[in-house]
Amino acid sequence: MSVTHAPQTADVLTRQDPELAEILLGELHRQSSTLQLIAAENFCSPAVLAALGSALANKYAEGYPGARHHGGCEIVDVAERLAVDRAKSLFGAEHANVQSHSGSSAVLAAYAALLRPGDTVLALGLPYGGHLTHGSPANFSGRWFDFVGYGVDAETGLIDHDQVRTLARTHRPKAIVCGSIAYPRHIDYAFFREVADEVGAYLIADAAHPIGLVAGGAAPSPVPYADVVCATTHKVLRGPRGGMILCGGDLAERVDRAVFPFTQGGAQMHTIAAKAVAFGEAATPAFAAYAHQVVANARVLAAALADEGLVVTTGGTDTHLVTADPAPLGVDGRTARGRLAAAGLVLDCCALPHADTRGLRLGTAAVTTQGMAAKEMERIAALLAGVVRGEVESVRAREEVRDLVGGFPPYPA
Ligand SMILES: *Cc1c(COP(=O)(O)O)cnc(C)c1O
C-alpha cells in the first residue's frame, strides 16, 4: 500500500523515516477503512494535498502581496493573489483575506477588526450550538468580551428569533454573531441583518460549516448581509485546514490589519496555495453537484435515523449536518459514540438543546466525497441504530463497515 496522493513524498519518507511513514499510512488506512461521519471533516483532493506538501511551505511571507516584510515573495505573491481573486469571485465578496490559520483565528481577527475588549456581543449560546469562539469562558472570546447568548425554541429546535430581537434591544450589542457548530438548518441572514441595523450592531456570520454549501449554491449566502463573514476552508468546502474572512471593501483594511500583524505572523503560503486549489475546485459544476448531494444525503440520513427511533433535532436538516438524541434507543450520546467508534463509525457527541444528556452529531460531507448516496445513507442509519441498540456486535459491524467503505475509496489508486 502506498500514499497514492503524494507518491514522491511518501517514498522519501518511507526511506528516510519509516517510523513516521508507517504512522501516516496507518492514518490513511484508518480514514479509508472506517466511516467518516464527523460533520467538520472531509477528504480534500490529491491536488490540495500536493499544494500542502509543496516547497511553498519553506517561504516566509509576513504582510500581503506587494507589501511583504521578507524578500523573495514575488512567486508566493502570485499564489496569494490567485487565492484571493478566486475566493472573491466564488463568494461574490468585495474583499477576501485568506491568511487565517484556522476558523478560530478568523473569528479572533473579525472581533479584533470590529470590537474593543469589554464590548457586548450577542451570539448563539454554547448549549445551543455556539462555537468556543462565541463566548466560552475557556476561550479568548469569553474572557475579553461580554457575551450574551440567544437560544433555540424548546419545541422546534429553531433559532428563537423573538429572543434574538429582545436581547438585542435590551443589551445593545456592538456585534451580533450568527453561525453554529451544530445547527442543522439554514440561518436567516436577512433577519439578523435587520436586527443588527435596528440596534446599530455589526453582523458577523461565522459560516465555518455551511460555507462549502454556499460555494456550491446549496445554502443561502451570508455575504450580502453580514459585515464580516468568517469561515473555515476544510469542512464542506473540502480544502486545506485553515480559515478565511470575507467582507466589504470598506472593512478590508481593518480586517487585513486584524489578521496580520494583530493576530498572526507569517502567512502559511503552502496552505494559501492549497486554498487557491480548493476555491478553483469549488467553482466547478461538479462541486455544485457535490454540495447538493451532500444535503440530499443528509436529508435521507436524518429521515432514516428518525425511522430507527432517534430524535432528530428540528426534525431534519437543510445542510450536511444532523444532530440526534439516541435516548429512545436506550443509551445517551456518549455511550452511543463509544459503541459506534468500536464498530468503525466515527462521529461526535454534541450538546442537545434543552436536554441534560448529550446527543450525536453527524455530517455527510466526507461520505459524499467518497461517492456514497441515498442507498448508503440508509445502510449507515440501520447499522448505526443496530450498534447503538447493542443488537449488532462490533466485529460484525466492522465487517459491514469495511464492506460499505470498500466500494468507495477516498483516494482511489
Ligand atoms: C469549526 C468552527 C470554528 C473553528 O474552526 P477551527 O479551524 O477549528 O479553529 C469556528 N466557528 C464555527 C462555527 C465552526 O464550526
d(CA 399, CA 128): 36
Domain membership of residue 205 (yes or no) is yes
For residue 137, name the pLDDT band (cuts at 50, 70, 90): very high
Q: Does 70 reside within a domain?
A: yes
241 is catalytic: yes
**Cell matching residue 57:** 511551505
Based on the fold, state whether residues 276 and 222 are members of the same structural domain. yes
| Residue 404 pLDDT greater than 70, yes or no | yes
Per the residue annotation, which of 81, 88, 241, 254 is the catalytic one?
A: 241
- The pLDDT tens digits of the residues spanning 293-332 come to 999 999 999 999 999 999 999 999 999 999 999 999 999 9
Is 162 among the residues known to form the active site? no
- pLDDT over threshold 60, residue 5: no
206 catalytic per annotation: yes
Which of the four pLDDT bands, split at 50, 70 and 90, describes residue 1? very low
- Of 9, 14, 62, 188, which is the active-site residue? 62
Tell whether 151 is covered by a domain: yes
In whole angstroms, give the CA distance from residue 157 to residue 57: 44
Q: b/e for 316-337, b at 16 or more Cβ within 10 A?
A: bbbbbbbbbbbbebebbbebbb
Q: Quick one: which atom of ligand 1 is closest to the CA of 181?
A: 15
Residues 275 and 309 in one domain: no
Residues 391 and 320 in one domain: yes
340 shares its domain with 354: yes
98 and 213 fall within a common domain? yes
Tell me what pLDDT residue 4 has.
43
Let me know if residue 362 belongs to a domain: yes
- The mean per-residue pLDDT over the stretch 374-383 comes to 98
pLDDT of amino acid 202: 98
Where residue 328 sits, what CATH number does that domain have? 3.90.1150.10
Residues 267 and 322 in one domain: no
Do 110 and 141 fall into the same domain?
Answer: yes
Q: Please state the rounded mean pLDDT for residues 218-235.
A: 98
Pocket test for ligand 1, best of 41, 111, 126, 131 (most atoms within 8 A of CB): 131
How many angstroms does the Cα of residue 104 sit away from the middle of ligand 1? Answer: 5
Q: How far apart are the first and last CA of the chain?
A: 9
Residues lining ligand 1, judged by CB closer than 6 Å? 40, 102-104, 107, 131, 133, 179-181, 206, 208-209, 232, 243
Average pLDDT of the chain to the nearest whole number:
96
What is the pTM (predicted TM-score) of this model? 0.96
What mean pLDDT do residues 338-348 have? 97
Mean pLDDT of 70-79: 98
Per-residue CA distances from 171 to 27, 113, 119, 168, 228 (Å): 48, 21, 11, 5, 21
Taking CA atoms only, the protein residue closest to ligand 1 atom 1 is 208
266/289 same-domain check: no
- 115 conformational bin, left if phi > 0, alpha if psi -120 to 50, beta if neither: beta
In a domain, 146, yes or no: yes
pLDDT of residue 394: 87
Query: CATH no. for residue 83?
Result: 3.40.640.10
Domain co-membership, 72 together with 87: yes
Question: Of 226, 256, 282, at which residue does a domain stop?
Answer: 282
The residue whose CA is least distant from atom 4 of ligand 1 is: 103
Of 282, 301, 335, the domain-final residue:
282
User: Do both 307 and 373 map to the same domain?
Assistant: yes
Q: What is the domain count for the chain?
A: 2
Q: Is 235 noted as a catalytic residue in this protein? A: yes
Q: What domain range is 136 assigned to? A: 55-282
Q: Which of 223, 248, 282 is the last residue of a domain?
A: 282
Pocket test for ligand 1, best of 100, 101, 133, 268 (most atoms within 8 A of CB): 133
Q: pLDDT tens digit string along 245-261?
A: 999 999 999 999 999 99
Is the per-residue pLDDT at 2 higher than 80? no
Confidence of residue 227 (pLDDT cuts 50, 70, 90): very high
Specify the pLDDT at position 9: 57
173 and 259 fall within a common domain: yes
pLDDT at residue 335 is higher than 50: yes
- Name the residue with the closest Cα to ligand 1, atom 6: 103
Give the pLDDT band (50/70/90) at residue 355: confident
Percent of the chain with pLDDT over 70: 98
Residues 229 and 330 in one domain: no
Query: Which of 70, 55, 116 is CA-nearest to residue 260?
Result: 70
Q: Is residue 65 part of a domain?
A: yes
Residue in 9, 34, 60, 120 annotated catalytic: 60
